[in-house]
Amino acid sequence: MSKFKLSMLLVLVLTVMTSSALPQVQAAARGTGTAVISDGTDLSDTITYAMTGVTVPADGGYEGWLVSGDGEKTSTGVMAVGSDGVISHKFTSDSGENLIANYHKVQITEESSGAVVFSSEIPSAGMTHIRHLVSEGPGGEGNGILFALKGQLDVAIANAALASSATDVAGIHKYMEVVVNALEGEGGSNYGDLNSDGATGDEGDGTGAITHAQNRNHALLAADASPSEDDIIKHADLLEIVGKNTEDWAAAARDKALTVLATTNLSLAKVLVGPGANTVSSNLDAARNGFDADNDGVVAVTATEGGATQAYIEGQLMATYTIRPGASAEAVAEEEAGPLGLPSVGDTAIQSLMRIGLMSGIVLLFGGGLLVVAGRVSRRSI
């Protein structure tokens, strides 16, 4: 075999060896979307994924995961990708687990390889305040400030209904006392035995609806702790609006109830209790469920319509995951190195650079071989 042919064979062998040594690099997954938590059969037990422009995986589908602060993962199921690149997937916890209380990250993996291709994370400092609003109070009590707010309004509404059915002033006063105490709580300036019957009627939690509404400030604290999270900031601002509505309507209901307690006129007392416009009952209903000011059949999240129900939903929406391509820092650290110690990557730029490097190496080897052969032929001809 001539030396020229030997050189060409060497180039071919090196080319094959180099190609086989490089890691198999695939194009990065594409697509964006959200994962939103809501109430299903229990509190915050459902997560709904909505993504568009998603790369269809070569094998199988994608699988969603919720990740806790200590790294524990819960699968939210395998998600199929439509031919139009759309993912629409809902998961509800069989055990009724509160998904805001226990997790603050979402990951989506390839079903076939297990590689993390999409992810999202809510900053822990912001999530702490979101949890205070919708899953656990600041002192570790209950199911959150906004859930407690709705509960205290429910107590007041139930007693206002009983007052409407009462047949004497004493009965109305008995139930109005409970209304005021449930709204103000034990720290309220009007709290106590308001009908002077020797007993304090209180079916509330001791904090009161008005104080719970004021504690909506945890929404703004969450936004301050997460200055780069647009969803947290947007929904915190909306929660502030409807939370203020709730506080104002609850205070108006309290003031009407105190007026009822001050009158001995049965007819007037019944008018003030309601139903009707600007009564104890109507203000309580607006505080709890909002008020359809423009009669369009929808209670909007605005300064004139939203109440405690809308505030609770806005609190959950603060925990919206904005899903983008890429793995979390933890997932990247766990990726195994590819052949020759090269990382397993999916960036198309890296793929292009590797190809350029390979072709450059081939050209150099080929050119070098030709130069060596040409040099030897030249020397022999002298």
Identity of residue 249: W
Question: How does residue 230 score in pLDDT terms, banded at 50, 70 and 90?
Answer: very high
Identity of residue 378: S
Q: Which residue has the higher pLDDT, 80 or 373?
A: 80
Query: CA 9 → CA 292, 320, 370, distances in Å?
Result: 82, 59, 12
Reading the block at residue 99, the tokens are: 């998904």
Could you give phi then psi for residue 101, rounded to 5 degrees? -65, -30
What's the predicted TM-score (pTM) here?
0.80
Could you give phi then psi for residue 180, rounded to 5 degrees? -60, -45
User: What is 32-122+321-334's CATH topology?
Assistant: Immunoglobulin-like (2.60.40)
| Residue 21 predicted with pLDDT over 70 | no
Percent of the chain residues topping a pLDDT of 70:
78
Residue-level pLDDT at 62? 94
Question: How does residue 345 score in pLDDT terms, banded at 50, 70 and 90?
Answer: very low
Residue-level pLDDT at 40? 97
Residue-level pLDDT at 247? 98
Question: How does residue 52 score in pLDDT terms, banded at 50, 70 and 90?
Answer: very high
Residue-level pLDDT at 101? 96
Give Rg (Cα) of the chain.
33
Query: CA 293 → CA 25, 243, 300, distances in Å?
Result: 58, 17, 9
| Residue 175 predicted with pLDDT over 60 | yes
Mean pLDDT throughout 59-82? 93
| Residue 352 predicted with pLDDT over 70 | no
Residue-level pLDDT at 317? 98
| Residue 169 predicted with pLDDT over 60 | yes
Q: Quote the CA–CA distance of 68 and 53 in Å, as a whole number.
A: 28
3-state class (DSSP) for residue 286: helix
| Residue 13 predicted with pLDDT over 90 | no
Identity of residue 272: L
List the 87-92 sheet strands across, edge first. Answer: 73-79, 62-67, 105-110, 116-121, 321-325, 32-38, 46-52, 87-92
Question: How does residue 346 score in pLDDT terms, banded at 50, 70 and 90?
Answer: very low
* pLDDT, tens digit, 9 for 90 and up, residues 273-322: 999 999 999 999 999 999 999 999 999 999 999 999 999 999 999 999 99
Percent of the chain residues topping a pLDDT of 90:
73
By C-alpha distance, which of 195, 152, 154 is closest to 172?
195
Could you give phi then psi for residue 157, rounded to 5 degrees? -65, -45
* Angle in degrees, 0-180, between the axes of helices 230-262 and 169-184, rounded to the nearest 10: 150
Q: Quote the CA–CA distance of 149 and 161 in Å, as a whole number.
A: 19
Contact 331, 119 (CB under 8 A): yes
Residue-level pLDDT at 59? 79
* pLDDT, tens digit, 9 for 90 and up, residues 271-286: 999 999 999 999 999 9
Question: How does residue 109 score in pLDDT terms, banded at 50, 70 and 90?
Answer: very high
Contact 369, 7 (CB under 8 A): yes
Query: CA 314 → CA 85, 131, 233, 268, distances in Å?
Result: 29, 12, 11, 38
Query: What's the chain's average pLDDT?
Result: 85
Residue-level pLDDT at 338? 41
Identity of residue 277: A
Reading the block at residue 9, the tokens are: 């064979």
Query: CA 144 → CA 148, 218, 288, distances in Å?
Result: 6, 11, 16
Q: Quickly count: other Cβ atoms within 10 Å of residue 131's Cβ.
A: 24
| Residue 184 predicted with pLDDT over 50 | yes
By C-alpha distance, which of 69, 79, 77 is closest to 29?
79
* pLDDT, tens digit, 9 for 90 and up, residues 113-163: 899 999 999 999 999 999 999 999 998 889 999 999 999 999 999 999 999
By C-alpha distance, which of 319, 99, 301 is closest to 218?
319
**What sign does the dihedral 111-115-118-119 (CA atoms) show?**
positive
Question: How does residue 57 score in pLDDT terms, banded at 50, 70 and 90?
Answer: confident
Cis peptide before 275 (omega within 30 of 0): yes
| Dihedral Cα 248, 269, 277, 289, nearest 10 deg | 50
